Structure formats: C-alpha cells, structure tokens
Structure 1
Amino acid sequence: MPPPRIPIATYRLQFNGGFTFADATAIVPYLHDLGITHCYASSLLTAMPGSTHGYDIIDPTALNPEIGTEAEFRRFVDALHERDMGVVLDVVPNHMGIGKALNRWWRDVLENGPSSRYAEAFDIDWHPIKRELDDKVLLPILADQYGAVLEDQEIAVVYEDGQFLLRYGEHELPVAPKSWIRILSHRLDTLVGTEEDAAQADVMELQSILTAIRNLPGREERDPERIAERYREKEIIKKRLAALMEGSGKIRDLVLENVRRFNGERGRSESFDLLDALLNEQAYRLASWKVASEEINYRRFFDINDLAAVRMENPDVFRESHQLVFQLIREGAVNGLRIDHVDGLYDPGRYLGQLQAWAERELERAGEERPLFLVVEKILGRDEALPETWPVHGTTGYDFIHVVNNLFVQSANERAFTELYHRVIGREESYADLVYASKRLIMRVSMSSEINVLGHQLNVISERDRRSRDFTLNSLTHAIREIIACFPVYRTYATDGPEPVADRDRAYIHMAVARAKRRNPALSGQVFDFIRAILLKQSDARTPRDREEQIRFVMKFQQTTSPVTAKGIEDTVFYRYNRLVSLNEVGGEPEQFGLSVDEFHKRMRERQARWPHALSASTTHDTKRSEDVRARLAVLSEMPQEWKAHVARWRRLNRKHRGDAEGERQPDRNDEYLFYQTLVGAWPLHAMGEEAYRTFCERIQRYMEKAIHEAKVHTSWVNPSHGYDAAMREFVRAVLDRSASQAFFDDFLPFQERIAHYGLFTGLSQLLLKVTAPGIPDFYQGTELWDLSLVDPDNRRPVEYGVRTALAGELAPLLSDAAPGRSEEVRALAQHPRDGRLKWYVAAAGLHYRRRRAALFQQGEYLPLESGGSRKQHVCAFARVLDDQAVVTVVPRLLATLTADVKNPPVGAGLWEDSWVAVPPWPTLGSYRHVLTGDILTVESVSGRRVLPLARVFQDCPLALLERIS
C-alpha cells in the first residue's frame, strides 16, 4: 500500500557520512512506532566530501556516495513502504557547492569561461564593473594578497594525465588548453634540430600539438558548432600529449623542467612572471577572500563564496538538475518535496509551477493523477501571507513556530522586560533601528558587490532618459541601499511578464520607499520616486531594450533583498537584540512580545482555511534554539522582577571575570546578558559528571563564540578580534568553573531549577499543539525527547536512537487501544518528567491518534473553545470537528504565575479550582475519552454551557486530548 498522499506526520533526518541510508533503515520501525508517516530527508544528492548538511551539492544527478549506495537507498525506501511510509525530500534549487572546484559544472566554467556548456547554469556577470574581469570569474579563495601568495610558492602548476592543473592548498583548478602553449613552447627551440631522428619526430609531434592548440576555438566563441569543436579537439589533444609524455623522455624532461621554472623560486620576484602570465590567461582571476564582498561577480547563497547561485529559470538547468529527483518521484521512492530558500530564485512562482507540472507528468506516467506534496522554506514577515497563487501546500513551518512560541510569553510584561533590557545594556535601542542599521552593515561589508551591480544597472537605465540622466551613480546606489534597508519583507514577486505588480507587493514597495525617504531627508525624493516607478513596473520604457533592462533590474533587486534581510536579521540582529532571546527565532518578530489566546485562535483558523497541509515545525536544522530551550526562556517573561534581581546579582558576582581593553568592557553588557539567558535555557536536566560537564562548557563556549561573531559588534568571522574572542572564552570558562564560582551557582542553580520545571510542561503544551493544530506536525531528529540544543552545529549532534527505541518498547503497552484506563501510569510519568518518557508518550499517543483519524485533522474545522473560572487565562483549548467526530485539545500556559509548586506537575482540583473549558455544542451533553489516560469525562452544564471542569481534565495528566465518544 503506498504512503498517504499528504503526510500525517514528518520526521526530519539529517543525512551525512555519520548518518547513512543504512542508519536510517535501522530506525524505520522505531519511527513507525512513534507515529511518523514520512521521513523528511535533507538533500540526498552528491555534496562536497565531508558535508554535514548536504546543501553544498556538487552533482545533482547522483545520490551522495557518502550516505550510501543506490541499493542501500532502495532498502531504506522498501523498509518505509513496508509500513506505508514515505519520503519528503529536501530540494536545493538556488545554489550549488563549488568548493575546491569539485563541481564538474563549475570546473567546466573555470576552464572554458563564457563559452562553457554550463556558463548559463550559474548566475555570473561576465561583463562586470571591474573591466579586468571581462569574461572571467573572480575566485576569492586566497588567504592573502595574490602577489604574496604567488611569490610564496603556494600556487603551483602541475602536469597530470595529458593536462595541466593549478594547485592551491586543497583547491585544484583547470588550466585552459589554449594557455598550455606557454608551457609547451617554452625553451622548445633548444630541442629543434639538435637530436637524432626519433627525438626529432617527438619534437615534431609536440609542434603539431601546439598547432592544434592554437587552432582551438577560443572561449569568446558563442557559435554552438565551434564550441562543440573545441570540446572535441581538446580531448584529442589531451590524449596526444599524454601519449607523447609517456613515450618521449626528452619531451617529458623538457615539459617538467618548464613546469618547475614556471613555479618560480622563492626570493626571486621576477621568476614568477611566467606563472603570473599563465594565470592571467585563465577564465578566472585568483584573489584574496577579503575582496569577495566588493568585487565578486557571481551570485552566491547569501555571502558564502563556496555556494554559487544557479539560474534555475534556464530550462536546461531546471531539467538537468531535477532529473534524478523526478526519477525518484516517478518510481515512488519520493512522495513529496521541500524547496529550500525559495526566495533566492529568479521567479519563485514560475519555478514552483514548472516543478508541479513536471511532477504531475511524472506521476501520470506512474499511473497517478494528483499534485505533488510541495512545501517551501519561506520566511514570512509580520502580517505577510504566503502567495496563494503558488501551487504548494504551505511553508516548512517557521510561521507556526512564531505563533506557538508567543502563546507562552506573558505580553503584559513587555514594558518591564524592555526597561530591564535597556538598563542592563546601558542604552535604549529600537529594534526597528537595529534592523535598519544591520541591513546597511550587511550591504556595506558582505554584499557591497551585489549593491554596486544594482547601482550600475540603474545608472544605465537612468542615462537613457533625459528626465533621469542627472541622477548620479552615487545617489542611485545610496537610494537602492536605503530602500532595501527599509524593506518590510524578504522580497516581492514581480515577474518579467506583462502582469502588473500584485497589490501586496505594491504596498511593500510603497512602504519601503516612504520609510527610506523619511530616513534620508537630505537626499532628493525624486531619486526614490524614480526607483519606485521601476520596481512597480510603471516607469516609461521607450524601447523594448529599455523595458528589458528595467525588468532585469527589478528581478535582480528582488533576488538581493532576501539575502540582505536574512543576513541582516537572522544572522546579525538576532544576536544583537537580546531582550528575550526565545523570540529571536527564524521567522519570528522579536518586537512582538507574546500573543493572546484569541489571536492564537485567529491565526490557527486562518491556517486551517488557507494552508491546512503546511508543516507545523517546532525545531528545525536552522532554528536558533530548540523548542525546549525556547519553552524555558518563555517562562522568564512571567517573572520580570525576579529575573531582574538575579541578573543584577550574577553580574555583580561575575564582575571579576570580565576583562577590560582600552576602556572596552569584555564581554560587553549585551553579550553577558545573552550568556545568562543561554545558561538558563540550555542547562542540562540531570546532574553532570566531570566529562559531561566539560562537554557542556565547551558547547556554551562554542555557542558564545558564534554569537559574538554573528553579532558583528566587537568581532566577526571576517575581521576577528582575537582579544575580545579570548576574553569571552575566558569569561565563560571562569563563570562555569564549579570550584571557583560557588556564590554564583548557589544563586543560579535553584532559580534555573524552577525555570526548568515550568519549561518542561510548557514544552509539553507546545508539543500537543503541534500534533493537533492545523498543519502537519514535523519533528526534528531526536526532539521527541527533551532536547536542549542551540544553533547549528550544536543541533547536528548524533541522536541516540538506541535509547529511544528502548523507550518505545517500554511505553508501547500504553499506546494500545485495548489498554485499560492508564491514568496511574501517566500520573507516574508526569511526576518524573525529566526522564523524557512523558514527552515521548504524548508525542506517540497524539501521533497514533492522528494517524487513526487522519481526515479529522486534515479536513476538520478548527473551533476555538471558551474557558472560564479563576484560572481561565492559563489555558488554551480548541476542537477539531468533522461530521460527528470531535477531538478537544486543552493545554496549560503561563505556569510560573499559575503555581509556585515546582515539585509536582500542574494537575489536580486544588490547582484548577472552579475553572472549566467548553466543548463543541452537541444536542446531548455526551462524554469524552481522555486519549492520554483512557479516562472517561462526562460533560456538565454550567450556565447553559456544555463544559468540562479543568480539575477533571487535568486530574492526572498536565495536558489533554479528549475524544468525543457520545
């Protein structure tokens, strides 16, 4: 039987050399027992050797050999199909890995330049602003200035198997055959006419090879036949040269000696002229990595030089890069796709339409008529909706994380937390101003090349019209930078067709330009108006060429706003604005401090109406903190005064561990505040021995190192401050030294224990909401047990599936429908929540029920439920209703202000007093079965309402899933 068309529950697996197809096959029975229907797999295509994530694909046409063989993959798929399970595959359409020139497409481009068969595959500007790069690719791979690296003999030409190559460290680069003439003809005159007949024949063969090389069509050729001729003839030349080098000692000695001379002699600058001239003839220009931000002429994934963007809008690129994916879909090995970084594409809507059309054809060939399950990694801004014209089932779930996370933040304490934060860091800081400044920073230090390209494109456009020709290049570039810095969303989606800009995108463009004008009163508003008209596709275009250039600018602009926003916010602001860091999550809005139950219900009803099959994530491979860390930190929002007192005490106790350099406090107040929140959130649940504690301390040190580098305030990856880095490492080490920080730990540990207690039950509430709310519950590997991971690579650590499998066996009897009432067993689990059994049980019981009632959750109405009584603000409840079926979810929230008891779970009549939750209206009162405990609850009538007392709902279990049975 095939897996369900729409997943019921997904489980994310990170495949790499440490977790292979064989490893995944071994855990398929466990995942089925958990209630999973689809493995949500990271990319399985060939990536850079040693890749831990798979996003640096170097060959999209083959499975990654480090993950396993095709036979092992088939065994994995067969194991899934035996249990009616499937695969949702991560597809990476925006970029490819190009590190070390191991990507054959990229290597071909480096050898053949703009006439390469794959020149159109990559988004390369072959005629950039810097004229020296005409028909060349800038390769910013050198650790130092080009001249220094060259004369230090770090770059060397070598001969291998009929061809010449360049080596620099781990990089191996092709040498264009046309430039071989320099090496092969050097000193050749010393052999002509001086040797016996046999040797002269070898010399004549070399001269013939040189003639063949001279006759090769150049890389400036664009005629397909001439390009094909060059590819064909150069392979023949390689074979002839290899045979000659093998058969003639004289020629071999000449060539190898020439190679030695070309590589120069250290200390003799002029000896490197030969190699320098050879390098200048290549279709690439080697440069220091530091010049990438300003001069790089290929589009990257964000600012990562080793990830080159591909032109997926090119039909040939689309077809070749997806051939294996479509084959797997046709064969039924893959049942759905997750599209990575959809905003990086030239035209996301068109790409998704093409993908769905191709997939439907493949499915039809397999005898199926249905759309492919398709979700996109899309970060939505505040109040931004996913374009409903896209043929997808929804997003990967960052929007869901944001809504659920805020439900457990006490919004009434926002002002107190803001004042505390400003007092701690010693200044007032507007989040909006911080976003603006950080995006401008990214455009200045990481992506200035992309902005300069846009500026020059716009300058060309402005020069074509007498009404705009007086706008200077500087003013145009500045205005572009300001509009992007003020852009309210990641990007807009104007197309290159005749269609007008959509209303929603028009609003965002108007908003960005208006904000940019307000922030730049000294700059002529006419410049902003000129750009706005082009972005809105309303500018006059007197010729088709004018229109083409304007559209090209719009499309490139849209591809630029997304990485600037991602780098500026996710990878900068989220490490700078530390008011309450549980809110600093991908897809989140740290400005929003909490969400009411009513607003939560509104968002969920919209989700059910528009995107009922979107993924409901809680942790992903890209989240800044795991769901359980965020659940703990949300608890802090309920106790601002107590938190304020502890932070003040800790700062005073740890003052002696801070450094000072040239009047600069190290670490600064903001970084120290982030450190304390991190400790509260990530502190392990169980006592640690020496080895475990050392590992934990190292994890915190690595996290803080990443945090301060991403913040880019005192240090960064590009320009590290070794002094500040060392001061942070030493501060973390000293504070966490258990032998010397007794006063700190005496205050920290009891407080952290309380936060951890409330965090456990908050985490359970988040979990049940994910399982039962609209959408498809998605589990990141290992998070079915408590997981206190931080941002990658911390969250990429191996998962102990042996522990989980044993736990599944232990708890399996509780999942049986035939099992009698199990309230005592569940109460026992709730009394000892730290061991993770309760979290696993809630996940498994909820998923098993969801699998049995798939239609109810996929199609059922979302019905908010009223609550009442003295504790009503501490509960969130809703029902899923379909025909005569109904299931009610009830979870507690804001536990720190609900109870001071940190020894017991939040259960029982003494806690919930007179509070109640209403149930869906039916003609009779009826009754409900508690899915987790098996207890039967009878509906009561209170003031005309059909209700269940929370004292009964939460009698034994701190959360409830209630199935209507009569």
Structure 2
Amino acid sequence: MTPARPLPPVPTATYRLQLQPAFPFAAAAAAVPYLASLGVSHLHLSPVLEAVPGSEHGYDVVDHGRVREELGGEEGLRALSRTAREHGLGLVADLVPNHMAMAPRHNRALWEVLREGPRSPYARWFDIDWEAQGGQLLLPVLGGPLGTQIEQLEVDGEVLRYYDHAFPLREGTEGLPLPRLLDAQWYRPVWWRLARTELNYRRFFSISELIGVRVEDPEVFEATHAKTLALLREGVLDGLRIDHPDGLADPAGYLRTLHDATGGRWTVVEKILADGERLPAAWPVAGTTGYDALRHVDGVFTDRSGAGELLGDYRRFAAPQTDRGGEWAATVRRAAYKVLGHELAAELERLTRTASRVCADSPDPALRDRAPWALRTALRELLVRLEVYRPYSAADTAALLTEEVAAEARLAFLVPEESGAVDAVRDLLLGRHGEGPGPAELRARFAQTASALRAKAVEDTAYYRYVPLLSAAEVGGNPGAPGVTPEEFHAYCVRVQRDWPATGTVVTTHDAKRSADVRAALAVLTECPRRWADVLAEVTRSGEGVPDAQLAWAAWQTVFGLGPAAPERVREALLKHVREAGLYTSWTEREPPYESAVAAFVDAGPCGAPGQRVTALRRALEPYIRANVLGTALLHLTMPGVPDLYQGTEGEYRALVDPDNRRAVPLPPPDPGEKGALTRAALGLRARRPEAFGDTATYAPLSAEGPAANHCLAFARSGRTVTAVTRLSLRLAESGGWADTRLPLPPGRWTDVLHPGPEFSGPTRAADLFERSPVALLERVDGDGPR
C-alpha cells in the first residue's frame, strides 16, 4: 500500500498571477526566480482548466478534464510546478465549481445535452428547468427577434449555425424545414433580450454566457473535479481558492466533500462577509479569500468624521440628481428592487414556479390557494430585506427572516388577506411545513437567488449609485459606515488569529473596483473634506458639459485617486460606472447621447485642463497618501492570516475596475520603490520568523500614549515582531505632530527591519520611531522572546 503523501505546508504568503494567452504558464515560470526572491511561499494561479478560446480570465470553463492548452496545457502546468518547487514555491489554483461556459461548440457536455435533451447522461450536470419553456432550453443568442434573424440560421449537416455559434441537431431532424426543425430541438435559439424574463437555466449572476453546474450531485462532482484532485494528489498543486461558493445549492456540503477528497488541503473560499457577519464555523476551510480584511484595513485609514462631512457635501452636490437622496440603505434597497425586476427577473420567476409547485402539492391547507403573483411578491419582499449574501442553515434563515422583516414585507399587499403569502413562504423557508424535496429545493433556490441579488444590487449597482467616498465602494465594504476604529481593527485581528489563523487576506484583487493604492489616496480626502469641496467647486464652477452631478463627483474622485493616467483608462472606467449604476444608461439599454456626453466630459474636465487642479491637490497631499499606501501594505503583510499579493502590487500599483486591473504587468516591476522595499522586508521577515505569523502565533494590540496616541496603530506578533503605522497623518500634521506621544514596546531590544540602525526599547517616542518613514516593522534582536 502506497503511504499517503503528507500534506504540503500552509502558505505563508501567496502571489496572484492572472494567467491568459498573453501570460501563459511559461511566462509564470520565467517570473518564478523573482517571485521566490520576493519572499512569497506559493503562486496563486487564476483558473487553469480549459476555457473558452481567447478568454482573458479563465472563469468560463468548458472542460474540467483538461488543463488549458492556450496556457501551455498540462505539461506546461507541470513544468511551472517543477520550476516553482526548485525555488521553494508551491502552487495554489483558482477552482470554479459553480458554472461553465454556455458555449456548446467548446463545451462537449453541453453539446450532448443540446443534442439529446434531458435523457443525456450530461443533463444532470446543468441546472436546467426542463418543465419551463415547453421542455426546450432557451438559448439567448440571437441579435433580434427570430423573424428578423431566421435567414442567418443555416443547417450544415447535423449542425445548426448562427454566425460563430454552432448547435447540434436532434437526431432525425436534419431534413425538416427550418421553422419545424427549430421546434423539434431540445433547445430554442431566441433574441438575447428574452434572457431577462424567460431564461430557464441557472446562471452566474445575470451572465447568460455562464450556466450553473450541479456539483451537489456526486457524479457531477467526481466528473468536474477528477483532474484537479489528481493534480493535488500528484503534488502539482498544493491548495485551492474556491470561486463563488454562494452560488451552489449546498455550499457546506460541497466544501465537506471537497475537504474529504483533497485530504484537507489548504482551501479558502471567495465569501463576501457583510459587516458583522461570520464565516460558518463548521466549514472545513482555512477561511475566506480576504475581503473582510480589506474592509478593516481600508477603514482604519478612513476618518469617520471627515467621511460624514464628505457625505454632506455629496448630498448637496449630487443627491438631487442621484438615486433620490444619497442614503446608503435606501440606495441598496432600491437597487435590489430594480435588479429583481430586471436582471434577475428570470431567477425570480423560477423561484416563484418552485414555490407555487410546493404550495400546490402540499397536504397542508395553510399553503393552498396561493396565487403565483402573491408568492412572487412575497419572495421579492423577503429577498430585498436580506442584509447578507445568503443563509446557510435554518438558524441563519430564522435570524434573517424575523417577524419584523415579515411585517414589513406584508405591507407590499393592498389586501391584508393576500399578505398571508409572506407567512406561507417564510414558513416554508424556516422548515415549518416539514422536509421533503420540494421545500428543500425552495430553500436552496432562495439562497442561491439571494446571493446573486446581493452581488448585483450591492457590488454592481449600489456601489455605482452611492459614491460620496469611492474607496469605501469596494467589494466587501460598507459605504454606509466606511470608518473602522483602531479598537475595531484589533478586535477583528484577535478574532481572526483565534478562529481562522490561516485565512486569506487581500487589499487588491482581480475583482477590486480600485487597487489599494488608489483607495489609499482617496481615503486622505476624509481628512480634508473642506479642501476637496473647494477644489470641486472650482473645477465645476461653470457646470458646462457635466452629464449629471453624481457622475461628475465620481469622475473627479477617480482622477484624484488614480493620478496622471491615459484618458482612455478613465473614460473606460467611467463608462462602466454609469452603465452599472443604471440611472441614465445601462449595459442592455444604452443611451448613446448620454454616454457620448460622459466621454466628452471626462476628456474635457477630469482628464483636461481643469483636472490639473485636482492633480495639484494630490501633489500637495502626497506625504499623507504615502503614509496610507505604506500603512496599508504593512498591515496587510503582518496582520493575522495569509497575505495574497496581487500581481504588481509589491510596487506602486494604481488600477481601476476590470479590465483595467487585469492588464499585464512587468515582473519584476521596473521601479518597485519604497513600497517594494517594504514588501520585500515584510515578506522576508515572515519567511524568517514563520512561527511569529502562523496558526500558533499570537496577536497583541499595542496602545500608544500621549496627545497623538490615536494616530498610531500598532500590534505585536508572538513577542517577536511589532508593526506600527501612522493613521490619519494629515490630521496628525495639522494638530502639531507627535509631540511626546510614545509607544510602549514589549520587553526586549528592537530594530526596524525597514530602516536598520538604531535600537528601541521600552516606551519609545513616536517621533523617533517614525523619523524616516510613517511606518515601522520591528524585530526583536535579543533572543527569541515569549511565544
């Protein structure tokens, strides 16, 4: 019997690489010597399985059994793994269990389903409602109604073609006239706009090009995970990042199955935790990918009172033309209603069909005589009131769908008797009508729909409608309460070290709206809201060419955060901004005159001569931006958890929303600068002192003493290292500096690894500690110290 391979070590730090045809495995291998010298322990690879040809992200998987040929295939991945191991590095890969590409000509499993229908052995792979749409799978691929496109459809042997789309024909239908041939298929090509209301397959959010996969089925799990599990068993891969587990029918069950199949490899999940929400303790994972850490790091450099002043200015400047008021909670609620009525209308309809069927089939009279419209209304009203992505258990559901929530939901009904639909739905979701496949399916689909709704309503809509402080409108953030106190930051870190010491932490990702360095600059505006208001008044004095005030506010903040940049980058990000906001234009209902006005305004204003005034303000605030940039980097690299560095962020990295943040970066960066030196020093310390940062380490907050104590955030790790950063440095300078503020250090003698030289001990003057830099990373130099 072959002995089990020992588990690889838990990462100490990972480095995220965005693989694509222009940056394949060979390019990653070429960067390995540099990345190893940087001090990370593992490379974090974007998805490596076969994807749609040309895909720049890899989340549109078409074959789970093959490593992507455009990246170099399996041999290329194995060669990268060998090179990484020669330099002491492991590999962590991004795994996509929730969906595959809706691309039949590349996706063999889907091709067979279209050819054979529900009797195909692959039909169980995909989350399709065969009872809807007359038993045909809706394919929203046509550029217009069928009558205007039918001449573009042609039969080629046993294949139906439409431009670059290809679909298999059902056996025996090849010779039928085209209209009859279309009716005879297991699928129905339709105008793409019908996806909004008529779609009958689960998808990723509102992206019809990605079809949901049923990994809750053991056979589907085995088929879609065999290659990845083999790569783990053979030591090619060491760990996993799980993409969007909230989309699955049973995330906890999936993660248990995965844990057993991998033998307990280090695994983190892309889970967005709402403010105050906790990761389910029973999940057999190391933790999240780290958006909760991002929110706390950003928040501690944000001045709460100044953010409140910015909000007041924003309301006066933009609220009359924005989402009717400039209130965060109200903006989220209105966005949720809009998304359920538009982008996710098909998902709400499927959920309604499920609820109707469960009620009609129930022996309990309390569930009978519920009209579909009433059930739809009840589901909508309960969904929009969820303040987290989804419930995972009956206890979660009970805590979320309280009687107070139900009472609010009932107000949507004009006839009180009709409001009983709310109680019927709520009771089913709470399990009060027993178990069974019907109620279980309703609960799973409710949770799946909830996660899609939260993502679309918050991340993809509200973040673009409520913009008093753009740095707070980040994945995992809470724009309604952007500031985090040092006490709250420490409490979070203590909890992470206790409960999830090997969780991932991030400050920049491929999904971030703005990179950490851009957000660090924007946070300085909370320390000088009056100066920002004065500059904004000056650059917008004429009001000419401004499409709307909300867009103008966001545009000026964008160029402040980004600094000098090519106008096309700003223009592209702002066009995405207004389409996501959906107030005057959108992705599916574009208004060309408005979009042209946005582009013209960006070129003439923020990226034109008036923008120089904003650039001048940024230059004047550069010392305080530097403090935030360095402080953010140092906290990320030394706080509890496993830091994940996004490609290029070891040096200065200013990027906006994708695709801007997914562009290729040179490795190594040509001039990593001061931030690069900090990154290398901190990672080197983690590698040299792994016991100070791992799962057995400790985290101890350190409190400064003196008039500027609140401006120093500090903590010790295992009595061996001390991190100290300056927060709200502009406010500090305006109040006269550190004066006699001191930071009492733990016992021992300490030296700053960022600026070797003097030693420190006992109560140390902050002015001395931060003489050369707004941050300090101390290492104990008189022995190991206490554990």
TM-score by length of 1: 0.78
CA distance in 1, matches of 2:376, 2:312: 38
- Name the aligned partner's letter for residue 410 of structure 1: D
1:423 and 2:423 aligned: no
More moved, 408-417 vs 87-96: 408-417
Q: Distance in 1 between matches of 2:206 and 2:411?
A: 26
Q: Distance in 1 between matches of 2:533 and 2:187?
A: 56
Q: Distance in 1 between matches of 2:75 and 2:366?
A: 65
Aligned residue in 1 for 2:618: 752
The amino acid of 2:283's aligned partner reads W
Q: Aligned runs of 1:191-202 on 2, under 5 Å?
A: none
Q: How does 1:9-158 map to 2 (within 5 A)?
A: 9-99=13-103, 101-128=105-132, 133-150=133-150, 153-158=151-156
Partner of residue 276 from structure 1, selected from 167, 171, 179: 179
Equivalent residue, structure 2, for 1:656: 544
Question: Which region of structure 1 is more displaced relative to structure 2, 65-74 or 432-441?
Answer: 65-74
Write the deviation string for residues 556-576 of structure 1: whole angstroms up to 9, x where unpaired. 111110001101110000111
Contact 2:91-2:236 within 8 A present in 1 as well: yes
Q: What secondary structure is seen at the aligned counterpart in 2 of 1:656?
A: coil
The secondary structure found in structure 1 opposite 2:650 is coil
Equivalent residue letter for 1:594? G
Q: How does 1:261-660 map to 2 (within 5 A)?
A: 274-360=177-263, 371-427=264-320, 428-463=325-360, 464=362, 465-494=364-393, 501-502=394-395, 504-510=396-402, 513-514=405-406, 516-517=408-409, 520=412, 522=414, 524=416, 525-539=419-433, 541=434, 547-653=436-542, 655-658=543-546
Measured against aligned partners, the alpha-carbon deviations of 1:35-83 in whole angstroms (never above 9, x if no partner) come to 1110010000000001000000001100111101333222211111112
Q: Report if aligned partners of 1:625, 1:790 keep a CA contact under 8 Å in 2.
A: yes
Q: Does structure 1 retain, via aligned residues, the 8 Å contact 2:556–2:606? A: no
The C-alpha deviation readout for 1:409-436, integer Å capped at 9, x for no partner, is: 1012243222111101143332111111
SS at match of 2:425: helix
C-alpha separation between the residues in 1 aligned to 2:607 and 2:128? 51
Could you tell which deviates more after superposition, 599-608 or 469-478? 469-478
Tell me which amino acid in the other structure corresponds to 1:178. G
Q: Where does structure 1 lack aligned partners over 5 or more consecutive residues?
A: 184-273, 361-370, 495-500, 659-666, 685-692, 808-835, 902-909, 941-946
How many equivalent residue pairs?
Answer: 769
Q: Which moved more, 1:455-464 or 1:628-637?
A: 455-464
Secondary structure of 2:657's counterpart equals coil
Q: How far has the Cα of 1:753 moved from its partner?
A: 1.2
The yes-or-no answer on 1:857 pairing with 2:693 is: yes
List per-residue Cα deviations over 1:836-887 (Å, max 9, x = no partner). Answer: 4110010000001101111110121110001012221211000011xxx421
Tell me the equivalent position of 2:682: 846
The answer to whether the Cα contact below 8 Å between 2:104 and 2:110 also exists between their aligned partners in 1 is no
**Do 2:652 and 2:673's aligned partners in 1 also have CA atoms closer than 8 Å?**
no
CA deviation string 1:943-965 (max 9, x = no partner): xxxx1211221122321111122
1:950 aligns with 2:766: yes
| Pair 1:915 & 2:741 matched | yes
Q: Is the 8 Å Cα contact of residues 66 and 74 (structure 2) preserved in structure 1?
A: no
CA distances 1:718-740 after superposition (whole Å, capped 9, x unpaired): 110111111101111222564xx
Q: What is the identity, as a one-letter code, of the residue corresponding to 1:168?
A: Y
In structure 2, the residue matched to 1:895 is 729
**Deviation (angstroms), 1:616:** 1.1
CA contact (8 A) 2:559 2:614 kept: no
> CA separation of 1:736/1:641 partners in 2, compared to 1, >3 Å: closer, same or farther?
closer
Task: State the distance in 1 between where 2:337 and 2:430 align.
Answer: 23
The corresponding residue for 1:878 is 715
Indicate the SS of the match to 2:476.
coil
Shift of 1:2: 9.4
SS in 1 for 2:693: helix
Indicate how the Cα distance of structure 1 residues 749 and 102 shifts in structure 2: closer, same or farther if over 3 A, else same. same
One-letter code aligned to 1:840: G
Q: What is the SS of the residue equivalent to 2:595?
A: helix
Distance in 2, Cα, partners of 1:523 & 1:146: 41
State the Cα RMSD in Å. Answer: 1.8
Other-structure match for 1:683: 563
**Residue 674 (structure 1) aligned with residue 561 (structure 2):** no
CA drift of 1:527 comes to 2.2
The alignment partner of 1:612 has SS state of coil
Corresponding residue number in structure 2 for 1:213: none
Return the alpha-carbon distance in structure 2 between the equivalents of residues 589 and 566 of structure 1: 13
Deviation at 1:797, TM superposition (A): 1.0
Aligned equivalents of 1:700, 1:625: Cα separation in 2: 12
Deviation for aligned residue 1:515: 6.6
State the one-letter code of the partner of 2:284. P
Instruction: Quickly say closer, same or farther: Cα 1:803–1:461, change in 2 above 3 A.
Output: closer
Distance 1:962 1:511 in 2: 52
Structure 1 residues 553 and 796: CA distance shift in structure 2, 3 A: same
Deviation per CA, 1:452-510, whole angstroms, max 9, x where unpaired? 1211222233333323323322111011011101111100113xxxxxx23x4421122
Moved more, 48-57 or 439-448: 439-448
Partner of 2:581: 711
Amino acid at match of 2:352: G
Q: Provide the TM-score with structure 2 as the length reference.
A: 0.95
Alpha-carbon distance between aligned partners in 2 of 1:380 and 1:849, rounded to the nearest angstrom: 30
Partners of 1:4 and 1:85 within 8 A in 2: no
Distance 1:519 1:597, change over 3 A: farther
Please list every run of at least 4 consecutive aligned residues from structure 1 whose deviation after the TM superposition is greater than 4 angstroms.
Answer: 1-4
Structure 1 or 2, whichever has the larger Rg, is: 1
Q: Which runs of 5+ in 2 are unaligned?
A: 783-787
Deviations 1:74-93 (A, max 9, x none): 22111111122101110000
Q: How many angstroms does 1:519 deviate by?
A: 5.5
